[in-house]
Homo-oligomer: A and B are copies of this chain.
Amino acid sequence: MPKKIRLGILGGGGDSLIGVLHRVASFINDNYEIVGAVFNPNHEDSLAFAREIDIPTNRIYKDFDTLVEEELKLPEDERIQVCSIQTPNFLHFPMAKKLLENGFHVICEKPMTMNYEEAKILQETHKKSGKVFALTHTYTGYPMVRQMREMIKAGELGKIHKVDARYYQGWINPIIHDKEKRSSVWRLDPKKAGISSCMGDIGVHAFNMVEYTTGLKVRSLLCDFNYLYEDNQMDVDGTVLIRMGDHVKGVIRSSQVATGEENGLAIAIYGEKGGLRWEQENPNFLYRLSDTEPIQVYKPGHAYNSELSLEGTKLPPGHPEGIFDAMANIYKGAAKAIRGEKYNDGEFPTMEDGLRGMNFIENTVASHKKGNVWVNMD
């Protein structure tokens, strides 16, 4: 009998986007229940946020160490089983390490650590712990990305010889071109953000996709960064030549100054027998290319997909998964109304819409049956 997993949250309070994303994701498949948290360094803020999202406040702790200490006092079948780390980057390593050492499973936002040295230490801790460690390279959760992996694994492209991944955003553009802003924002301060901005934040996703989909490892790389200004020390753009084996070459391109690009992650893989292309902004379309056959467009949920891909779809073909959010918006509007809050006209369909609909359906039948004549709506 499945029982919801007891989840603890570290960070992700208030308006945090990453907080929303993790919380929603934890609900979607009925697997997790949030039982404890440190949403915010300020305990009052943490408690307020817990009340806002209606989570019991008795296990909202004042800090991370207290959370670990207090949870360990609880009987094992009440204790937090897994913590989701959504804090600023420099806390990922110490938190993950302590959690694993104390027998908790860990779900961790990327970057996993501040540097490779820490990563190797954490790997050791993890090995000893026997616990689950999941890193949220979110894009590998897309059904069609999983389908790419499985098709390549099954040899459908033959030997891979060429790889091209891109992650282009433009959001740092208004900051980088403003001398004032670029010298003050924490993202461009190596002391706060680590050794890399663009490559560390998004290039690494493209890198992960390349290894995830091909099953190959990058053996060596050559990189060129662009800092754009002499007084800036952090990469806001970078291109990486990669080699993944004998005569298997490729390129990873990432940018935060690709003006107007939003979240332009894309990947193309070419092998002896075929090619595959996928773009994050149209995640339900996977293009399979061939020398001799028409292009094939794979979409989620069809029986022709692999088990791994089908594992990641909940709805029938043609429903972009965003439909959950469309439906959630209807529920949100209804919630406002139920609570007696102000809401905009158009936030959810009403009785009136139902009435119109039934009138419409009946009239279509009447028009048709009478020999395709005009019928007036009420």
**Min C-beta distance of A225 to chain B, whole Å:** 4
Task: List, in ascending order, chain B residues with CB within 8 A of A64's CB.
Answer: none
A window 12-33: CB within 8 A of B: 17, 20-33
Top 6 closest pairs, chain A to chain B, by CB: A260-B289, A262-B318, A263-B318, A112-B354, A141-B326, A141-B329
Main secondary structure of the interface of A (DSSP, over half): mixed
Against B, the Cβ 8 Å flags (1 = close, 0 = not) of A273-312 are 1110000111110001111111111110011100110011
- Nearest B-chain residue to A100, judged by Cβ: B351
Task: List, in ascending order, chain B residues with CB within 8 A of A298's CB.
Answer: 294
Cβ–Cβ contact A331 & B31, under 8 A: yes
Task: List, in ascending order, chain B residues with CB within 8 A of A26's CB.
Answer: 328, 331
Task: List, in ascending order, chain B residues with CB within 8 A of A221's CB.
Answer: 360, 363-364, 367, 374-375, 377
Our pick among B28, B31, B81, B217 for the contact of A377 (Cβ within 8 Å) is B217
**Min C-beta distance of A218 to chain B, whole Å:** 5
Q: Which of A138, A142, A194 has the most CB of B within 10 A?
A: A138
Q: Which of A200, A350, A374 has the most CB of B within 10 A?
A: A374
Q: Would you list 29 pairs from A and B whose C-beta atoms are within 8 A, ordered by A residue? A: A2-B54, A17-B314, A25-B330, A27-B28, A27-B328, A31-B332, A31-B335, A107-B334, A116-B355, A116-B359, A120-B355, A134-B350, A136-B327, A137-B353, A140-B326, A141-B329, A141-B330, A170-B289, A194-B361, A212-B346, A212-B349, A212-B353, A218-B360, A258-B268, A284-B322, A294-B296, A294-B298, A294-B299, A311-B344
Our pick among B110, B272, B316, B332 for the contact of A177 (Cβ within 8 Å) is B272
CA of A373 to CA of B241, assembled, Å = 10
Our pick among B247, B289, B315 for the contact of A20 (Cβ within 8 Å) is B315
Our pick among B226, B260, B324 for the contact of A21 (Cβ within 8 Å) is B324
Cβ–Cβ contact A358 & B119, under 8 A: yes
Known: A110-B357, A361-B203, A364-B221. Is A137-B349 also a contact (CB below 8 A)? yes
Residue A264 CB within 8 A of the other chain: yes
Task: List, in ascending order, chain B residues with CB within 8 A of A352's CB.
Answer: 123
Residue A58 CB within 8 A of the other chain: no
Residue A126 CB within 8 A of the other chain: yes
Residue A169 CB within 8 A of the other chain: yes
Cβ–Cβ contact A17 & B259, under 8 A: no
Task: List, in ascending order, chain B residues with CB within 8 A of A174's CB.
Answer: 291
Cβ–Cβ contact A291 & B260, under 8 A: yes
CA of A39 to CA of B301, assembled, Å = 25
Task: List, in ascending order, chain B residues with CB within 8 A of A218's CB.
Answer: 356, 360, 377
**Min C-beta distance of A10 to chain B, whole Å:** 15
- Nearest B-chain residue to A200, judged by Cβ: B361
Residue A181 CB within 8 A of the other chain: no
**Min C-beta distance of A43 to chain B, whole Å:** 17
**Min C-beta distance of A237 to chain B, whole Å:** 6
